[in-house]
Structure 1
Amino acid sequence: MFSFYKNLFPAAREYARQNGRPDIILASSVHPLTLVAGIKIARKFGVPCICEIRDLWPEAIFYFNKAKERSILGKTLTLGERWIYKNADALIFTKEGDTDYIKEKKWDKPQGGDIDLGKTHYINNGVDIDAFYKSINKKTLKDVDLDNGKFNVTYVGAIRPVNDVGNILDAAALLKDENDIQFLIYGDGIQKEMLEKKVADENLSNVKMKGHINKQFVPYILNKSSVNILNYSQTRYNWARGNSSNKLFEYMASGKPIISTVKMGYSIIDRYKCGLELENGSPEDLAKAILEIKDMPKENYQKLGQNAKDGAADFDFKVLTKKLIKVIEKTLDYRQGVP
């Protein structure tokens, strides 16, 4: 982290030597020091800096119990966070409700703070719609599990504690007698081996642990799905401010209903009426929701899928790029004194 931070400064100087001074700096939060570097480099060049906040650091660290908020480290990180928000010329949050965090901290100017909410913007992650649909036809897989005519309950993503994939397996255990339902789990992570053992020990023949999958095949897999699962731990993250998961938008683009085991604030699933969100996300609730989607009238099922597809269009990279251009233009105009 620190070496990356240090290396950004000579890299920026070399870029400017070869290409001239940039008009603007866009720093995206791989980690907080990237944002600090972006602001400092922008100052050296005398240009504005836009900071994109992908995750609320250090809140995410506190949720994962990597540090305590009231510890010296926690307070230092929080001070650094506020410094970033104050000194950035513009802020882009990838979750719609993240500006609520600034208000909760009372850092905004209406509450006596020093952060102008007028410079905050919302641009979520998204999906390249054209590339997604081309991949369905061009990047195909030969896999009997995708073509056996069963109702495919599909999860694609990391297999870590925050994703709580074991919850899906517990739901699968409850549906073992539903012979026309199968669970397809694609992904890798620190809990993969443990969950593979669970599948074997409990003889969950309706679960297929597919392991790592090349991203180019994800559109084809989701196209063969019947329902896609967004599965998260209820306690390991603050979902009140929304979701910026890339797979949400891939799920939507597939045109299949979505079940989320977390009821989120600023809910995209609820806004576009493209699936179900569960209050507590227990295996019992998840199993019930799967059966609800499976057994609903065909017309209702297709409506959910079409809503998902229509909603994905709002998060197409072309749409998001236009939003980013507007933020860049507004930030440059403000710096130049253009009203």
Structure 2
Amino acid sequence: MNVLLINQYFHPDISATSLIITDLCIELTRHFNISVLCGTPSYNPAESLTYKSFKFYTYKDCRVMRVWNTSFSRRTFKGRILNYLTFMSTGCLTALLLKKSNATFAMTDPPFVGFIAYMINKIKRVPYVVTLQDIHPDIEIHTGLLKKSFLVSAWIKLNKLIFNNAVYVIVLGNTMKDYLKDAYGLAPEKIKVIPNYCDDKIITPQPKQNKFLNDKPFKDKFIITHSGNMGLNQDLHIIIESAKLLKDNQDIAFVFIGDGAMKERLLASVKNNALSNIHFLPYEQKENLPFSLSAADVHLITLGKGLTRYILPSKLYGIMAVSRPIIACIDNDSDVAHIIEEAQCGLVIEPGNPETLANAISWMYKNKNDLPALGENARQYLENNLRKAHVIEKYRELFLSISSRVSL
């Protein structure tokens, strides 16, 4: 079976989405012929390779077709939209010129990338699946970034067109599934819940004092880490405010690892408040993740109030894989909250409240001896319920079901 996967980001981009999709494609090549249509890398890949426009090559048995798009900074909304639109233009044209596949798999970048799969379906009669890591423009409407307008209404109508014509729409959790049923009127059987994952054989627990901390000024501190995208939806300012409340405890260090649209604002806030207990580090390469994640005593997951209907933070899986406890500032009826509570691997607190977060961190600090047990609970839950092999098998079965439909 020949499957065309479409997503703007792919190896060597080091965003969470790129890492997940790249690994998924490699695993699926064991069962299917996978081709990937992607754009220009935009997460500052460390490799000193030149990624030319319209370059065709093979990466670990995946046939990769890399098309041109603009490379404006992702930290501005306009720049990101221009990058998306140029990828959509070149990607759609390229996809229509390619040899017909048996199925199209539209991932999550750009948010309306499913339109390319829809066009292939209408012109070439190829069935397609859409995976939603996030639900747009619903997020932007909720946060006030976008107001209701003709363009926003058109975007929502486009979503309905794409979703209704797909064989399946894949979401990461039941909260997102319920929202799609209510907001878009999709039949429950059309929506499949398949979570993200991390490679639990590679992302494994390491000692806290490992090579990642060798040259770090906070290596002997009690480390509170936020690792991953510093985006507009994470409500990251509550971490800064909590650090202000805890600044008199010189034994606690806050560490941000990653990048994103909010990073410059966070840096400015730290400078304006003269906070010496907060540190910023760049993204880590995949092979270093077991060490950077294990260097934390506690990991933070934050998300703005009400956003769990549209987003499921996938950093959860890596944290659980390295056996570290979690403080989640997130809606208590979300999938993440349910997992943490069921696994008994951390604390779930109300989003947007710095005082509550500071109190939760203080509790963790005072109860250090209990943290290894919470971490072990996290890893055990991951191994029992969220292993990579389980997720890959769900994707394999899904595409086999599409293959059987095509052959009928």
2:347 to 273, 276, 280: 276
CA shift at 1:36, angstroms?
Answer: 1.6
Quick one: structure 1 residues 280 and 195, their matched pair in 2 at CA, closer, same or farther if it must change by over 3 Å?
closer
Percent identity, please.
24
Q: Displacement, 1:278?
A: 0.7
Q: CA deviation at 1:93?
A: 1.0
User: Larger C-alpha radius of gyration, 1 or 2?
Assistant: 1
The answer to whether the Cα contact below 8 Å between 1:262 and 1:278 also exists between their aligned partners in 2 is yes
Task: Give the corresponding residue for 1:4.
Answer: 87
Runs of 4+ in structure 1 off by over 4 angstroms are: 134-137
Give the Å deviation of 1:302.
2.3
- Alpha carbons of structure 1 residues 143 and 312: separation in structure 2 relative to 1, 3 Å: farther
SS class of match (2:202) = helix
Secondary structure class of the residue paired with 1:260: strand
How far apart are the structure 1 equivalents of 2:406 and 2:207?
Answer: 44
1:261 aligns with 2:309: no
Question: Is the Cα–Cα contact under 8 Å of residues 90 and 331 in structure 1 kept in the other structure?
Answer: no
CA distance in 1, matches of 2:167, 2:229: 34
Counterpart-to-counterpart distance in 1, 2:111 and 2:272: 42
Residues in 1 aligned to 2:88 and 2:131: alpha-carbon distance in whole angstroms: 16
**Residue 122 of structure 1 aligns with which residue?**
193
Number of the residue aligned with 2:60: none
Compute the TM-score of the two structures, normalised by the length of structure 1. 0.83
Structure-1 residue corresponding to 2:166: 88
1:238 paired with 2:307, answer yes
Structure 2 residue ranges without an equivalent (≥5): 1-83
Q: Distance in 1 between matches of 2:184 and 2:325?
A: 38
- Aligned partners of 1:187, 1:48: CA distance in 2, in Å? 37
1:52-131 matches, within 5 Å, as 52-69=131-148, 71-105=149-183, 107=185, 115-131=186-202
Q: What is the Cα deviation at residue 13 of structure 1?
A: 4.8
Instruction: State the alpha-carbon separation in 1 of the partners of residues 108 and 269 from structure 2.
Output: 36
User: Matched residues in 2 for 1:200 and 1:2: separation?
Assistant: 36
**Would the alpha carbon gap of residues 146 and 48 (structure 1) be closer, same or farther in structure 2, given more than 3 Å must change?**
same
| Unpaired segments ≥5 residues, structure 1 | 108-114
- CA separation in 1, counterparts of 2:264 and 2:281? 10
Take 1:75 and 1:13, find their aligned partners in 2: how far apart are those partners? 27
Contact 2:169/2:191 (CA < 8 Å) preserved in 1? yes
- Kindly provide the CA deviation profile for residues 169-212 of structure 1, in whole angstroms up to 9, marking residues without a partner as x: 221222223232222222333443443343344332322x2232
Q: Over residues 96-127 of structure 1, what are the superposed CA-to-partner deviations in whole Å (9 max), with x where a residue is unaligned? A: 322212332362xxxxxxx4321210112221
Partner Cα separation in structure 2 for residue 140 and residue 15 of structure 1: 46
Q: Decide whether aligned partners of structure 1 residues 321 and 294 sit closer, same or farther in structure 2, where only a CA change above 3 A counts.
A: same
Partner of 1:327: 398
Deviation at 1:78, TM superposition (A): 1.7
SS in 2 for 1:228: strand
Confirm or deny: 8 A CA contact 2:173 2:312 kept in the other structure. yes
Tell me the equivalent position of 1:306. 376
Structure with greater helix share of residues: 1
Q: Which residue of 1 aligns with 2:316?
A: 248
1:147 to 210, 219, 240: 219
Considering Cα pairs closer than 8 Å and 6+ residues apart, tell me whether 1 or 2 has the greater RCO. 1
CA contact (8 A) 1:126 1:317 kept: yes
Indicate yes or no: 2:363 matched with 1:292.
Answer: yes
Aligned partner letter, 1:305: G
Give the superposed CA RMSD.
2.7
How far has the Cα of 1:135 moved from its partner? Answer: 9.0
- How big is the shift at 1:280? 4.0
User: How far apart are the structure 2 equivalents of 1:283 and 1:170?
Assistant: 6
2:153 is equivalent to residue 40 of structure 1: no
Conservation of the 8 A alpha-carbon contact between 1:126 and 1:316: yes
SS at match of 2:362: helix
Q: How many residues are matched?
A: 318
Q: Deviation at 1:94?
A: 2.1
**Aligned partner of residue 80 in structure 1, secondary structure:** helix
TM-score (normalised: structure 2): 0.70
Give the letter for the 2:150 counterpart: I
1:223 matched to which residue of 2?
294
